[in-house]
Chain A
Amino acid sequence: MKFPIYLDYAATTPVDPRVAEKMIPYLTEHFGNPASRSHAFGWAAEEAVENARREVAALFNCDAKEIVWTSGATESINLALKGAAHFYQAKGKHLITVRTEHKATLDTMRELERQGFEVTYLDVDSEGMVDLEALKAALRPDTVLVSVMYVNNEIGVIQDIPAIGEWCRERGIVFHVDAVQAVGKLAIDLATLKIDLMSVSSHKAYGPKGVGALFVRRKPRIRLEAQTHGGGHERGMRSGTLPTHQIVGMGEAFRLARLEMAEETSRLARLRDRLLKGLREIEEVYINGSLEHRVCNNLNMSFNFVEGESLMMAIRDIAVSSGSACTSASLEPSYVLQALGRSDELAHSSIRFSVGRFTTGEEIDYTVTLIKQKVHKLRELSPLWEMYCDKVDFNQVQWATH
């Protein structure tokens, strides 16, 4: 086994060696600018870019002309939300999203609020699911756009995108989906799903960082106001010289995802379930988010009476993410777990495990053993665990301010 063990595939993935191999000639040999129309260097690069565009489109069963290259999902989301909000603002200035969205969506929505748009942030239930009835209740005559993520990045919960899409389409509301965590894990058929705009990135699916795409539907046609101006690339929607090697990498990564998804997702689910089974043997653990509506590679668990950062420190041999933002110095528990109604204590002690293409069963078994041992050790150190064992009623305890 190689240490540290990487169980943070939801944060990023390594570039698949097969992908890296395809990229290299486009750095050194076929270095042309895909926008150069007058010579063979440009033609070769353009062909590579268009092949990759077809591969991305093939994974989602859409037209290659509906794919716009971006620098990543954050840019895709910014272009989708700001571009559609600006273009359709004469129709209305009300937007709807969900409290548990990624910051790329929430911060973009905040910016649109500063620009005079009004945003409704939908609550989720204790399982992390959006209630379609809550969405219906939030509808206003001036609602122009709804944005919901397919798979939550922290808790892996899958929203009912088909149903929300149908509902939006019937009302002529633009529907944007952040599908970053769904790529290669869920079959996304844009010929049947009523999604108008969809953001994806390459690096969560074994492609390189720094490239992503935005799907912009042509039938019915969705219009966007460009947010980056320059040479009029990408049909005017996103100017800027295309990074050929990155795009080639993303194309190859998405081609592999299409070919290997069925087999890979069942393997990932087996590994995740093995992890879940092992960790569930520990007393006082809580699973965050619905297990039923959950992507195959995610497990988010809280270890009661153990503080998250100290647990992370204890398991330095494993690369995972903590649901507590203590590590990023803000001392704030995860807003996603708070939206689920989790107490701050449980939010602080949560860990997100995400398995991926190169995870092995041996690594999972090692992880289970290590976590069991370290949780035991930290609980021996924990005054809260001692109180729990003494059957102290925590609701009766008054904690001193600090």
Chain B
Amino acid sequence: MAYNEKVLEHYENPRNVGSFDKEESDVGTGMVGAPACGDVMKLQIKVGKDGVIEDARFKTYGCGSAIASSSLVTEWVKGKTLDEAMAIKNTQIAEELALPPVKIHCSILAEDAIKAAIADYKAKSDKAGATASREEETAEAAVCAPRAVTA
């Protein structure tokens, strides 16, 4: 398979690789995907007091398109408010990287990762006020069901 130039560029020079301490109160962590499916994305955001995403980090296990998609969204979310970041659509990611139909699931995963990171951050800040006991979130069983794959 020939790789798109933009995918290759992000793959060769991934932006914002690394990790924040996920216990920090201003950090939101989203981990999506499953190893059995061949993709796991961890996206972290650091949110300022004004509700603007100051910084982002990622680590991705997956194909070149998955790495490029997550690298790209770490760039995109920086400087955005949580609401603006929530509005990022997988189609924008797919378009920017010219992903072929079989790789659309990588952009969906990247969108899911942003949403998961924001949800984690919000859950943390909600809890910071209340002293409610922490409910364990039960994740669904890992099933490889790449959505919107047409080819």
Contact = CB atoms under 8 A, between A and B. Distances in A.
Given A398-B139, A399-B139, A401-B141, A310 B34 contact: no
A340 interface: no
A149 B61 CA distance: 35
Contacts of B116: 400
A326 B37 contact: no
A351 to B, nearest CB: 14
A381 B14 CA distance: 9
A28 B149 CA distance: 49
A129 interface: no
Interface of B: 1, 3, 11, 14, 17, 19, 31-42, 59-64, 66-67, 102, 105, 108-109, 112, 116, 138-147, 149, 151
Task: Give the 9 A-B CB pairs with smallest separation, nearest first.
Answer: A399-B34, A309-B63, A383-B42, A344-B36, A399-B142, A398-B139, A383-B59, A345-B35, A329-B102
18 contacts: A307-B62, A309-B64, A310-B67, A326-B63, A329-B151, A381-B17, A381-B60, A383-B31, A383-B59, A383-B61, A384-B40, A386-B42, A398-B140, A398-B141, A399-B34, A399-B36, A400-B142, A402-B34
A344 B32 contact: no
A401 B105 CA distance: 12
Nearest to B38: A348
Contacts of A394: 35
A343 interface: yes
A327 B64 CA distance: 11
B137 to A, nearest CB: 9
A400 B33 contact: yes
Given A306-B61, A327-B1, A402 B36 contact: no
Contacts of B139: 398-401
B146 A384 contact: no
Contacts of B38: 307-309, 324, 326, 331, 333, 344, 348
Contacts of A307: 38-39, 61-63, 66
A305 interface: yes
A36 interface: no
Contacts of A380: 17
A1 interface: no
Contacts of B138: 398
A385 B151 CA distance: 31
Given A344-B36, A386-B19, 10 more contacts: A309-B62, A310-B67, A344-B37, A344-B38, A345-B35, A381-B14, A384-B61, A401-B139, A402-B37, A402-B145
Nearest to A348: B38
A76 B141 CA distance: 44
A401 to B, nearest CB: 4
Interface in A369-391: 380-386
Contacts, number: 112
Interface string A295-338: 00000000001111110010000000000101101010100000
Contacts of A326: 38, 63
Nearest to A332: B144
From A327, A348, A386, A399, residue with most partner B Cβ within 10 Å: A399
Contacts of B144: 331, 344, 402
Interface string A163-201: 000000000000000000000000000000000000000
B75 to A, nearest CB: 16
B67 A400 contact: no
Contacts of A313: 3, 11, 63-64
A308 B34 CA distance: 14
A329 B151 CA distance: 7
Contact of A343 (B36, B37, B64): B36
Contacts of B140: 398, 400-401
Contacts of A382: 40, 59-61
Nearest to B41: A383
A402 B38 CA distance: 11
A385 to B, nearest CB: 8
Contacts of A309: 38, 62-64
Contacts of A343: 36
Nearest to A384: B61
Contacts of B59: 381-383, 386
Nearest to A304: B35
A402 B112 contact: yes
Contacts of B61: 305-307, 381-385
Contact of B142 (A305, A324, A333, A401): A401
Contacts of B34: 399-402
A194 to B, nearest CB: 42
Contacts of A398: 138-142
A343 B36 CA distance: 8
Nearest to B42: A383
A81 to B, nearest CB: 31
